[in-house]
Chains A and B, each alone.
Chain A
Amino acid sequence: MKVLSKIYMAFIFFFLYAPIFVLIIFSFNDSTTMSRSVWSGFSLKWYTKLFQDGMILDALRNTLIIALIAAIVSTVLGTAAAIGIGGMNKWMRRVTMNVTNLPMVNPEIVTGVSLMLLFVFVARGFGNVSLGMLSLILAHITFCLPYVILSVMPKLRQMDPHLYEAAQDLGCNPVLAFFKVVLPEIMPGVVTGMIMAFTLSIDDFVISYFTSGTTQTLPIFIYSMTRKRISPEINALSTLLFGTIMVLLLIVNLRQSKDKKVEENMMEEA
């Protein structure tokens, strides 16, 4: 039985990661054309081409700038909102949580179209300016917010509410108490929320498609390649992104386990 369950696990992981491995392997394919199905030797040429291609790098830069700003702003706003919601009475909290969850269950296309209509309406008021970076960032903050709130809320609930009062008793003013006591307690939730917001923003297509105006993000750029065919440069780029995120996650996890060990040691000493 144990063997069977292990085989089952292996299959699950295989199906989860096989596409990514195929993508990585074909980023090293040495084909003169753009074949994605015939292997013809190892080469790094798609990587060199990638770094010569200003259009892809432009799109990547836009995507990263938007994701970064959207992640930071939505984390700050979301954490503040979560703390505010945490302080509400039961009935109000329920209503507010439902309202914030609404954008998550709302089909993306509805969010996208309605945001576009709003932005176009406002843009007309400002003398028919083009949508672009600003409207994209605003849209991304909007759809990232509920995810941040949702990941911070449980941490807040786990926290002993008297900690904050105790900090104030011991001489902290409210601001200091928040930064010294509350924030470190809910930090894992905040970080998870931020990473989630960042990744959601990077790969969002539908909402960006409607609100992008004359700015192009990476997913839109890749989608526009579909009449011809998607260049293996995109495989190379995806490999690099995948690698970077892997390394970041590894660092995060190692750090966390180290922190835990330090804490345990301190407990033992005490």
Chain B
Amino acid sequence: MKKWVAALIAALMMTVSICPSAFAAGTDEKPAAAKTGVTINVYNWGEYISNGVDDTIDVNKEFTKKTGIDVNYTTFDTNESLYSKLANGGANYDIIVPSDYMVSKLIQEGMVEKLNFNNIPNFKYIDKQFLNPKYDQTNAYSVPYTWGVVGIFYNKKYVTEPVDSWKILWNKKYSGKILMFDNPRDSFGIAQKLLGFSYNSTNSEEWEKAANLLKEQKPLVQAYVMDQIFDKMSSGDAWLAPYYAGDAATLVADNPNIGFSIPTKEGTNFFVDAICIPAGAQHKKEAEAYINFLCDPEIAAANVDYIGYSSPETAAKKLLPAETVNNPIFYPSESILKKSETFVNLPEDTNLLLDTLWAEVKMGGPGQTATLVVVLGGFLLLYIGIVVYKKIKAKRELQ
């Protein structure tokens, strides 16, 4: 008995010890820089950096080799989970990569540090149009990492008309075959653009109108989803789905029937994910070295090549394959970009309103809540009735 317990433990120990050696086996030609003994903690989106698979560049390993600074790389799934991790404390990150509106929220709440651009000489590669963005107007806190736009995926077999307006997502012909974003700002954004409002409106009437439009659309929507879009679209379960352009490449390659189009009539959302240093970071200088490294055109090109989003550096674009750079999915024309708008952080009361309205859209409003309460109340009464009836019956039988 004891022996096999020992064997079990030994086997597990082996797996544990094999793991690090499996990826340390890569060949190192360049001499490595001396270890500085510093480890920076990086918090980035999942699958958002070139990881060395298939002869690509392993960005974190390269950085360690070049500077001697170790990288502890971890990942998050939404801006909100990034925010809660920072706000809760107990996690001392040196690098974070929030999206536009989260950057402005973090700046407003004093949760990010001003950058020292003397330590980031590669910042000069960032294109002019990405400087001083709406979410960081003095450009003191953030360096753009990737950007993209939102567009519509459609199945060419069933959707033959031109997809150039968000209106198509309200077409009854495609009832039950439409997918929508499962997050309030992206979903409301579509309705807002259709109504001609700004994404960053603080007018509650405009938000309510957008909500009404979404409620009108609800019966046609198959599901509110995020990454399930890929499976639902490629299997033909759904025909129309708005999503981030950068993810188009894999989907289009997967199924030649799937097309992608950016609604040019109303314009679209233009999003940026930017690199920041959270307030109180313990290794600010090393973090700035890391930002500088990410801005190196060669590294930036490797990253966007892996991620599928677009690079804010012309120098990096030159290193990418021509079919990517000339593809309007990845690099839409100036005219589309001029029509599009970025999210910035909303004031607290607008955010609250948005949450309530989104809940109403998804749940079906107070009217349906009332029916739900009535139905549940009915069941409760029925249950009580049965229990009472049984009790009475049992008492009678006893007598």
- Do the two chains belong together in a single complex? yes
Q: In the complex, A248 Cα to B12 Cα: how many Å?
A: 10
Encode A243-270 as 1/0 by CB contact (under 8 A) with B: 0100010011001000100000000000
Fill in one digit per residue for A148-171: 1 if any B CB lies within 8 Å of its CB, else 0. 000000000000000000000000
The CA-CA distance from A252 to B15 in the complex, in Å, is: 18
A-B contacts besides A52-B52, A53-B23, 10 pairs, CB < 8 Å: A31-B254, A35-B230, A35-B231, A37-B235, A116-B88, A221-B75, A223-B46, A225-B75, A227-B46, A252-B4
How long is the Cα–Cα vector from A33 to B58 in the complex, in angstroms?
20
Alpha-carbon distance between A118 and B333 when the two chains are bound, in angstroms = 52
Q: How far is the CA of A120 from the CA of B90 in the complex (A)?
A: 5
B78 near A227 with CB under 8 A, answer yes
CB atoms of B52 and A130 under 8 A apart: no
For A210, list chain B residues within 8 Å (CB): 88
Q: Which residues from 158 to 197 on chain A have a C-beta closer than 8 Å to any C-beta of chain B? A: 184, 187, 191, 194
Q: How large is the interface on A (under 10, 10 to 19, 20 to 34, 35 or more residues)?
A: 35 or more
| Closest B residue to A122 using CB positions | B90
Q: In whole angstroms, what is the CA distance A86 to B251 when docked?
A: 60
CA distance A251 to B12 in the complex (A): 14
Determine whether the beta carbon of B247 is less than 8 Å from that of A228.
yes
**Is B208 positioned at the interface, with any CB of A under 8 Å from its CB?**
no
12 residue pairs A–B, Cβ–Cβ below 8 Å: A52-B52, A54-B51, A54-B60, A55-B73, A61-B19, A61-B20, A64-B12, A68-B16, A124-B89, A214-B43, A216-B74, A228-B47
B53 close to chain A: CB less than 8 A: yes
Given A223-B77, A227-B46, A51-B227 contact (CB < 8 Å): no
Interface residues of A (CB under 8 A from B): 31-38, 49, 51-55, 57-58, 60-61, 64-65, 68, 72, 116, 119-120, 123-124, 128-131, 135, 184, 187, 191, 194, 210, 212-216, 220-221, 223-231, 244, 248, 251-252, 255, 259
| The 3 A-B residue pairs with the shortest CB-CB distance in the complex, in nearest-first order | A224-B46, A224-B75, A120-B90
- Tell me if B327 is interfacial: C-beta within 8 Å of chain A: no
* A221 CB contacts on chain B under 8 angstroms: 46, 74-75
Chain A residue at minimal CB-CB distance from B308: A228
CB pair A51 B22 closer than 8 Å: yes
- In Å, the complex CA distance between A187 and B4 comes to 12
The answer to whether A130 and B235 have CB atoms under 8 Å apart is no
Q: Which residues of A contact B77 (CB under 8 A)?
A: 223-227
Assembled-state Cα–Cα distance A79/B268 (Å): 61
Task: Give B79 Cβ to nearest chain A Cβ, in Å.
Answer: 10
Give min CB distance, B244 to chain A, whole Å.
8
A54 CA / B112 CA spacing, docked (Å): 29
- Known A34-B250, A64-B15; contact A130-B46, beta-carbon cutoff 8 A: no
If the complex has contacts A38-B235, A54-B51, A216-B75, are A123 and B46 also in contact, measured as CB distance less than 8 A?
no
B373 within 8 A of A: no
> Is B363 an interface residue, CB under 8 A from the partner?
no
Check if B61 is an interface residue, CB within 8 A of chain A. yes
Note all chain B residues with C-beta closer than 8 A to A244: 11, 15
- Asked if B145 is an interface residue, CB under 8 A from chain A, the answer is no
Contacts of A255 in B (CB 8 A): 1, 4
User: Contact check: which of B4, B226, B231, B251 meets A36 at CB < 8 Å?
Assistant: B231
Max count, chain B CB within 10 A of own CB: residue among A35, A68, A230: A35
Q: Which of B4, B43, B61, B226 has the most CB of A within 10 A?
A: B4
B135 interface hit (Cβ, 8 Å): no
Q: Across the interface, do B52 and A53 meet the contact criterion of CB distance under 8 Å?
A: yes
When distances are taken between beta carbons in the complex, the residues of chain B under 8 Å from A124 are: 89
Give the interface of B toward A (CB within 8 A): 1-2, 4-5, 7-9, 11-13, 15-16, 19-20, 22-23, 41, 43, 45-48, 51-54, 58, 60-61, 72-78, 88-93, 226-227, 230-231, 234-235, 247, 250-251, 253-255, 280
CA distance A15 to B22 in the complex (A): 36
Q: Which residues of B contact A230 (CB under 8 A)?
A: 227
The answer to whether B91 and A131 touch across the interface, beta carbons within 8 angstroms, is yes
* Whole-angstrom distance between the Cβ of A192 and the nearest chain B Cβ: 12
**B22 proximity list for chain A (CB < 8 A):** 51, 57
Give the distance to chain A from B250, nearest Cβ to Cβ, in Å: 4
Interface centre among B7, B8, B60, B251 (most CB of A within 10 A): B8
Complex partner residue of B53 from A52, A184, A228, CB under 8 angstroms? A52
A224 touches B234 (CB 8 A): no
User: How many Å lie between the Cα of A49 and that of B55 in the bound state?
Assistant: 10
Chain B residues whose C-beta falls within 8 Å of the C-beta of A31 in the assembled complex:
254
B19 x A60 contact (CB < 8 A): yes
- B227 & A228 in contact (Cβ 8 Å cutoff): yes
In the complex, A208→B233 CA distance in Å? Answer: 33
Chain B residues within an 8 Å CB radius of A55: 51, 73, 75
Contact A33 to B16, CB < 8 A, known contacts A51-B23, A214-B92: no
Tell me if B91 and A213 are in contact (CB < 8 A).
yes
By beta carbon, the residue of chain B nearest A231 is: B47
The CB with the most chain B CB atoms within 10 A, among A37, A38, A216, A248, is that of A37
**Does B41 lie within 8 Å of A130, measured CB to CB?**
yes
| Inter-chain contact B231/A225, CB cutoff 8 Å | no
- Kindly list chain A residues whose C-beta atoms are within 8 Å of the C-beta of B73: 55, 58
Residue pair B16, A64 in contact (C-beta under 8 Å): yes
Given A36-B231, A38-B235, A255-B4; A214-B93 close (CB under 8 Å): yes
Given the known A-B contacts A35-B254, A54-B51, A228-B247, are A184 and B16 also in contact in the complex, defined by CB atoms under 8 Å? no
**Residues from chain B with Cβ under 8 Å of A130 in the complex:** 41, 90-92
Q: Report the bound CA distance from A83 to B208 in whole Å.
A: 63
B226 and A227 contact, CB distance less than 8 A? yes
